[in-house]
Copies of this chain bind each other. A is one copy, B any other.
């Protein structure tokens, strides 16, 4: 009998986390209360009441908030608007694989800053800048980073902001996991530290459901109008209905409840992986112990040939991604991303046990 398939591939919420019936209520309310607006063409920045809610939370004018069709498309727009052929963008190395593709698409160069347990190596960033590198932007996932799980320390954030001021680049901070902290305390965001130097993007994909495609961007005044014009030219306006549903979901208090539920659902899964790593990987690799989010990044002590590792894993019913996809420079042969939210603790433990066998085989 073939073993049960275990997919340690995508960082997605589990089906059982979707508040389906509440969202059906919100859809009805959104249509009955805002039908004429949500079904018509309208402002490119998104459904106004949600824009105002997010703006109030951030303490900015609503015109600085753009709600779009998921934050990846906003990232694509951002890259097209801000980067030109030959331009330089810095990212963390490793980082979210799709970001590398988005930022490269305009013909720009994407360079990675190595990761340390407390986030990107700011010394390396500083040395590159002193050496003459002039990036247009630095993209960071400071909280529970995808794919490593690390949090960028406050001290490093402050240094990054100083460097951004000195060398005049934008900080794009992507914070989809920020509200999913299971232990410890929040660190000030880049937006908190430098609101006119930061483009903060986030989304409701990890807090309600990815299929809604509701992501948003809080922009500095200097960029807001240009960005909005670009969005309007690209697609006129987003799907308001899902934004109105998110608005209704939040104002009923259900968003807060849902985040509370996720913060009870995920920690046992994180602990299951950490326990299994302690059991099986002490001699094989190292990892940090994330305080939130979706991912643990595992670095093997000895590099393996990744396509071979993936093939071996598949033979034992285990799916993993190629660690090199998260890297800008072809490195990552010894890196494996472990998403822990979509599987049960038992499946996660079983997956890590299988992975250990496969790694021993491949070493």
Contacts and interface: CB of A to CB of B under 8 A. Distances in A.
Contacts of A72: 234-236
Main secondary structure of the interface of A (DSSP, over half): helix
A239 B212 CA distance: 5
Given A39-B211, A98-B233, A24 B20 contact: no
A31 B24 contact: yes
A2 interface: no
B209 A237 contact: no
A101 B212 CA distance: 28
B15 A36 contact: yes
Contact of A20 (B39, B208, B211, B238): B39
Contact of A213 (B31, B98, B237): B237
A10 B241 contact: no
Nearest to A236: B72
A83 to B, nearest CB: 14
A361 interface: no
B31 A27 contact: yes
How many copies of this chain are found per oligomer? Answer: 2
A76 interface: yes
Contacts of A98: 233, 236
A73 interface: yes
A20 B31 CA distance: 6
Interface residues of A, number: 46
Given A24-B27, A27-B31, A241-B242, A41 B210 contact: yes
A28 B31 CA distance: 11
A40 B11 CA distance: 11
Contact of A235 (B37, B69, B208): B69
Contacts of A239: 69, 211-213, 239, 242
Contacts of A212: 39, 239, 241
A40 B15 contact: yes
11 contacts: A18-B36, A20-B35, A24-B32, A27-B27, A41-B211, A76-B235, A210-B237, A211-B241, A212-B239, A213-B239, A241-B241
Interface of A: 10, 12-13, 15, 18, 20-21, 23-24, 27-28, 31-32, 35-42, 69-70, 72-73, 76, 98, 101-102, 105, 208-213, 233-242
The 6 closest A-B pairs by CB, nearest first: A39-B209, A27-B27, A20-B35, A73-B235, A24-B31, A39-B211
Given A98-B233, A213-B237, 9 more contacts: A18-B40, A20-B39, A23-B39, A24-B32, A27-B28, A40-B210, A73-B235, A76-B235, A212-B241
